[in-house]
Amino acid sequence: MEFDLLPEPFRFAGYGQDLEANLARAPVEVIRQCQAKRLLHVVRYAAETIPFYQDLWREAGADWRSVRSVDDLHDLPTWNVEHQRRNIEEKPPWGDCYNPEISDEIAMMLSTSGTTGTPRLFPVGYGDIPGMRDIMARCFHYLGLNNRDLLHVTFTYAPMGAAWAFTWAAQGAGIGLLPASSGRTTESRRQIDLIRRAGVTVLAGTASFLTRLAEVAVEEGQDPSAWKVRKIVIAGELASVGVRAKLESLWNAPVYDLFGSVDTLTWSSIDCEASRCAHGAIGAHIWQDACEIEVLDPEGNQVPDGEYGEMCITSWVWRSSPKIRFRSGDLVGVERSQCSCGRTLARMLPPRGRVDHVIRMRATSIHPMAIEQAILDAAPGCTEWIAEALQEAGSDRLRVTIETETPSDEALRSTVQAALRAKLNLGMIDIVLSPPHGTAELTGSGREPKVKRVFDRRLS
């Protein structure tokens, strides 16, 4: 059978040598031609079937017929989660950015966590799942996973989407599944017992939670590096170079990062081996037959390759609700030069957080990843921390609390403080040393699948 890179409008070719040759290592012009064919279909589909886009484009005076390639996407307006929230309020329960036919084929109702407001509902249709499964299973086969593997999922099995995405991926790739869920569902000691006794070969979760699982195993007198885990797939939160390196050391297994979002309900990019060896610094390859990622400045202009800005994603995986120029709020960069691994797919550079998570102090933008990396450079073993922006006597200060086995070590405190002040170019930084687990109540580390480390107390 001849290889088909475009099998159906909302289906995607599986991973293998043909996909490597015809997409991953194809000339850039070939990749762009594939994108154009997909884009032409999805824009017409949206214009003809999805009320949200009909209204959005009409109000902006945009003519969808002008879009012939990804270069023409700027002819269409961008939108973000605030547009969606208003749309849901006006047209409950989930708005009208879906093909109306989804009401007759709902397979699952998912939602956001609700940490920034009322949880948004997401209906997933039976017809949506095959295409999502295609891309998700592709990621697993790309990593060399197969039917002899057993995947241990530590994302919460709840209305949030991550656990289900990994479930669909395992099903699509023919991989065994151990649905452990998060620490709130299956406590850490029970999880490490399952990993060891069941012979788990692949771990999936956030870097912070999987690090904590390994630490619990060590506390119990066990050696997780001697178990059968051969690969680790992380997603859902930022993981610095130091955190990834520590995770690989604890489990004696390579770590690969996946990027996706509940707003697209799919995975957009994944590390190659070259990027994995650099702990993600090279960037994760984007599945360009499934999406296009623009990087925009605050005024909506495209930034040069390699520079950071807000992600604007156009994704045509979710059949009932494709996303066309959705501003995600993630701070990313895109590099389009050929990777050292030989692939020509564009790469998404390591995300630096979210636009609304950046702390502004004394005209300086402070990214969570920069804080974490500075801590790890100065104190490699200190992976648990929180940062709080405070206002004292009318002056801004940044208080960083770090967990350590030696909380009375004044030399360590001074070393980390100097490193952070130099890295962040900010003098008003105070360091507090805490005993192990001293920040867990605030971060949720060890209990929640995603931790929160940065708090702006000036807004309280």
pLDDT the model gives residue 261: 87
CA-closest candidate to residue 104, choices 87, 89, 126: 126
pLDDT the model gives residue 416: 93
Residue-wise pLDDT for 397-431, tens only, equals: 999 999 999 999 999 999 999 999 998 888 889 99
pLDDT the model gives residue 109: 95
Question: Domain coordinates of the chain in residue numbers?
Answer: 359-459
Q: Which residues of the chain, if any, have pLDDT below 70?
A: 1-2, 113-117, 363, 446-450, 459-460
Distance CA 460, CA 440 (A): 21
Q: How far is CA 264 from CA 26, 96, 306, 319, 377, in A?
A: 25, 15, 23, 10, 35
- Whether domain 359-459 has CATH 3.30.300.30: the reply is yes
Distance CA 192, CA 127 (A): 36
Taking a C-beta distance cutoff of 8 angstroms, is the pair 317, 39 a contact?
no
Taking a C-beta distance cutoff of 8 angstroms, is the pair 394, 458 a contact?
no
pLDDT the model gives residue 367: 78
Taking a C-beta distance cutoff of 8 angstroms, is the pair 286, 334 a contact?
yes
pLDDT the model gives residue 117: 59
Encoded amino acid at 390, one letter: L
Q: Which helix (DSSP H) or strand (DSSP E) does residue 389 occupy? A: strand 385-392
For residue 174 the two structure tokens come to 């023919």
pTM of model > 0.95: no
CA-closest candidate to residue 370, choices 445, 429, 423: 423
Q: In the 8-state DSSP scheme, what is residue 356?
A: G
Distance CA 275, CA 19 (A): 20
pLDDT the model gives residue 231: 98
Which 3 state secondary structure label does DSSP give 283? coil
Distance CA 301, CA 42 (A): 23
